[in-house]
Amino acid sequence: MKTYKLKTHKATAKRVHITGSGKYTHLPAARTKYRRKKDPTRNRSLDKRRSMAKGDALKMKVLLPYS
């Protein structure tokens, strides 16, 4: 029986990174709009990657099957 290849969701692959331990990281929302009026410490923290929530990480296994 022929086994079919699973397709990677390309939009998700561009936005999500996988750490060495297998956790998923992403950049937070609200990064581009109204950055001038936001506090500088908040802007600096928006540049850092955050680890993904457990429920969302389970969905990544379907979207990124070969990662």
pLDDT at residue 31, rounded to an integer = 87
Report yes or no on 27 lying in a domain. yes
Neighbours of 38 (CB within 10 A): 14
Mean residue pLDDT across the chain: 93
Q: pLDDT by residue (tens digit) across 6-44? A: 999 999 999 999 999 999 999 999 888 899 999 999 999
- Would you say residue 4 lies in a domain? no
- In this prediction, residues 37-52 reach a mean pLDDT of 94
Q: For residues 53 and 60, is the Cβ–Cβ distance under 8 A?
A: no
Q: Which 3 state secondary structure label does DSSP give 50?
A: strand
In a domain, 63, yes or no: no
Number of domains in the chain: 1
Q: Is residue 2 part of a domain?
A: no
* Tokens standing for residue 55: 């429920």
64 belongs to a structural domain = no
Full-model pTM: 0.79
What pLDDT sits at residue 32? 87
Task: Give the domain extent around 52.
Answer: 16-57
